[in-house]
Structure 1
Amino acid sequence: MAKIHHLFVIDPIENLNMKLDSSLRVARALCNIGHLAYICTPGQLEWLSRESCAAAFAQELAFPDGDIHSMRMSPARRLRLDYFQAIHMRKDPPYDMNYIASTWLLDSAVARGVKVYNAPHALRNLNEKLSIFKFPEAIRDGLVSAEPQQILQFIKESANGDAVLKPLTLYGGRGVLRLNLNQQKEEKVLHILREETQNGQDLRLIQAFDERIFQGELRTFSVNGKALSWCLKKPHGDNFLANTRSGATLETYQPRADEVAMVEKVAQSLVEEGVYFVGFDIIGSFISEINITSPRLLHGPGDTHDYYKDIAAALVHDLG
C-alpha cells in the first residue's frame, strides 16, 4: 500500500484542547496504518507567484508510543501543497477574513488534484449557523436579520416570547443569548438587540428557545455521508449552553432510527458539496447547527470504540 501524505492545517499546538482534539488523533490513526501526517498553521501557508500552487512550512508527526501526548514533530520544512495527497483544514473559528484567505490558498492545491477536507469552496459557502436553512424540514423556524424590530417581532410571533440569539461567525457557544419576554421587559430586549446588531449593522440568527436543551444536545459526527458517532452533551446546572467550555458533561447515546435517517439524509446532501466531515448539533428532533470547519469527534465516557481508526480507514478508501 502506497503511503499517503496528509497535511493538517490546525491552530497552534499550544492552543489545542488536547483532551477533546480530534485532528491529532486522526493523524495518529493514519500514522498507525503506515501513512504520513504533517501539521502547519494557517500562518505557515504561503504562495510564491512563480509556483503553480501554495506551500506550507510543515512539520512531520510521529507517535512513538501510540499516544498523542508522546507526539514528536520534525523541524518545519517548506513543501508545496501538491506534495500532499490530502489536506485537512481543521482550524477552529472565528471565521474571519484570515480564515477565508487560507481557503484561497488551499484552492490552489485543489487545482493540482489534491483532496481537501472539507472543500475550500464549501467552507466559504456554508456558514455553520446559516447552512441549516438549506434543510428547513429538519430545523426549527428561524430568522437571520440585523434589524432589531424585525427580530423582536419574530420573538413575539414565532417564538412564543422565548428565543435564542446567535452570532453567525463565532463558535463554542460564544455570543449566544437567550431572550425571554416573559422574564425581561420588551424595552430591555430591544436594547440588547440594538447592542448585539450594532444598531442594525450585524446579522444575527434568531430561533425559538427549546426547553429540551436541558435534557441534552446531541453531537453526531458523520463521515462521507454516514453517521459515525453519537454523544449527549448535557448543560451544567441552569446553563442552557451545551458546550464543554461552558461546563457541559458528555454521555454515551444510542440514536433512534429516525435520528440516524435525518442526519444521514442531510450529510449525504452535503457530500455533494464537498463536505466530508460534519458535526451535527441536535436539540429535540431538530438540527440546530451544522459544524464543518473543525468538528470534534465526541463520545461518552463509556464508549471505547476507536472511531479514529474508522476515520483513517474511510479516508484511505476515499483516496483510492
Structure 2
Amino acid sequence: MPAIGIVMDPIAEIAYKKDSSLAMLWAASARGWDLWYMEPSDLHVANGVAMASMRPLRVFEDPNHYYELDETQVKELSSLDVVLMRKDPPFNNEYIYATYILEMAERLGTLIVNRCQSLRDCNEKMFATQFPQCCPELLVSADNARLKEFHKTHGDVIFKPLDGMGGSAIFRVKEDDPNVNVILETLTKFGTQTIMAQRYLPQIVDGDKRILMIKGQPVPYCLARIPSSGETRGNLAAGGSGRAQPLSDRDRWIAEQVGPTLVEKGLLFVGLDVIGDYLTEINVTSPTCIREINAAYDCDVAGQLMDVIAQEKGWS
C-alpha cells in the first residue's frame, strides 16, 4: 500500500472549511493510501539517517470529527513513498532545516512535494521576477534613495517585504505621501533589508487571483480574492473575500510562460498570484484555495494533484 506523509502545522488547529492540506489528505485517503502525520519538530537526523516521529492518520469529511491519530512511531523518512511539505511560512531557518532533512529522504527516492531545493531557491516574490514579461514594473532593493526614485517615477506603488505572507506589512504609497520615508526606513531597516517595490495595479479592486498549477498546468478556475472596503490587499488573511471564476486568456498565457520552469524545478503544486494582467508572486510553500474552487465548480483539484503524484511514482 502506498504510504504518503504530510508535514504540516498542527492539524487540530486548521480551518476545517477551507484547509487545502485537508483536501489533499481526503484525496489520498480515497485512493486507499496510508497516511502519516508529522509536524516540523518531528523531523530529525540520527547517525546520518533522516528520521521522523510520525503518527498514522485517518481523515473524515466531518467537521466535528475530521481526523484520528494513532500512536507515534519513529521511522525512516525514506520509508514513505511521498511527503507533502505543507508547513506554512514564515520561511525561516527552521523551515530550511526541515528541507535539509526531507532532502535526505528525497535522495533515497521519496517524492517530496515540492522539491526541497526549489523550496529553498524560489522565494515567492523574487521567483516571479524570472518572468519579467508577466510582471508589472518593479524594483528589488534595500537602497532607500533608489526606492524613493521608483516611487517618484510611478507615483502610486506598493512596498512589501520579501518574506511576508498573508498580506502582512504591505504598504500602498501614493504620490506625495508624507510617510514614504518612514515606511521605507521601517521596511528596509534603514537600508539593511531588501524589499520589493511594484507599480500599484488598480485592477486589485477586481481581485488578487490565485491560479493553481499542477505539474505546470493551470486548474481551469481561479479564486479572485477581493479586498474589503478601504483595503488594497485581497489576501483572505487580510479580510478579503473569495470569488471563484474561470481563467482569462491572459491568465492562461501567464501560466504558459511559467509552467515549464515549474516542471523543470520539480514544483508540482504551485499558486500564481495575478492582479489584472500581471503576475505578482509565485507561491511554492503551501498554496491554498483548493476548497473554494472545488466548492464553486464541483471539481477535484486535490484529486488531480494525487493523480499526478501517482504518475510520478509509476502507480498509474
TM-score range, shorter chain: over 0.9
Structure 1 pair 48/180, CA: closer, same or farther in 2 (3 Å)? same
Deviation at 1:66, TM superposition (A): 4.0
Query: Larger deviation: 109-118 or 259-268?
Result: 259-268
CA distance in 2, matches of 1:54, 1:67: 34
CA distance in 2, matches of 1:306, 1:274: 22
Q: Tell me the SS of whatever aligns to 1:54.
A: strand
Of 95, 99, 102 in structure 1, the residue corresponding to residue 91 of structure 2 is 95
Question: CA offsets, 1:120-151, max 9 Å, x none?
Answer: 10011110011011101010121111111111
Q: Residue 268 of structure 1 aligns with which residue? A: 260
2:280 matches 1:284: no
TM-score, normalised with respect to structure 2: 0.94
Of 227, 245, 253 in structure 2, the residue corresponding to residue 235 of structure 1 is 227
Q: Tell me the SS of whatever aligns to 2:255.
A: helix
Indicate conservation of the 8 Å contact 1:267/1:278, yes or no. Answer: no
Question: CA offsets, 1:188-242, max 9 Å, x none?
Answer: 3112211221111111100111111011111111110111241211111121111
Q: Residue 18 of structure 1 aligns with which residue? A: 16
Q: List gaps (5 residues or longer) in structure 1.
A: none
2:214 matches 1:223: yes
CA distance in 1, matches of 2:194, 2:12: 32
Mapping of residues 116-135 of structure 1, within 5 Å = 116-135=112-131
Q: Residue 58 of structure 2 aligns with which residue? A: 62
CA distance in 2, matches of 1:258, 1:142: 20
Q: List gaps (5 residues or longer) in structure 2.
A: none
Question: CA offsets, 1:287-309, max 9 Å, x none?
Answer: 11100000013435532222222
Cα RMSD after superposing both structures: 1.5
2:78 matches 1:74: no
Deviation at 1:88, TM superposition (A): 1.1
Count how many residue pairs are aligned between Structure 1 and Structure 2: 310
- How many percent identity over aligned positions? 28
CA distance in 2, matches of 1:88, 1:176: 29
Mapping of residues 176-191 of structure 1, within 5 Å = 176-182=170-176, 184-185=177-178, 188-191=179-182
CA distance in 2, matches of 1:217, 1:226: 19
Deviation at 1:258, TM superposition (A): 3.4
Deviation at 1:251, TM superposition (A): 1.2
2:160 matches 1:166: yes
TM-score, normalised with respect to structure 1: 0.92
Q: Tell me the SS of whatever aligns to 1:154.
A: helix
Mapping of residues 242-253 of structure 1, within 5 Å = 242-253=234-245
Indicate conservation of the 8 Å contact 2:82/2:112, yes or no. Answer: yes
Question: CA offsets, 1:66-120, max 9 Å, x none?
Answer: 4464311112211111100111111010111111111111110111111111111
CA distance in 2, matches of 1:195, 1:251: 34
CA distance in 2, matches of 1:163, 1:18: 36
2:307 matches 1:313: yes
Q: Tell me the SS of whatever aligns to 1:47.
A: strand
CA distance in 1, matches of 2:56, 2:35: 6
Indicate conservation of the 8 Å contact 1:181/1:189, yes or no. Answer: no
CA distance in 2, matches of 1:18, 1:140: 35
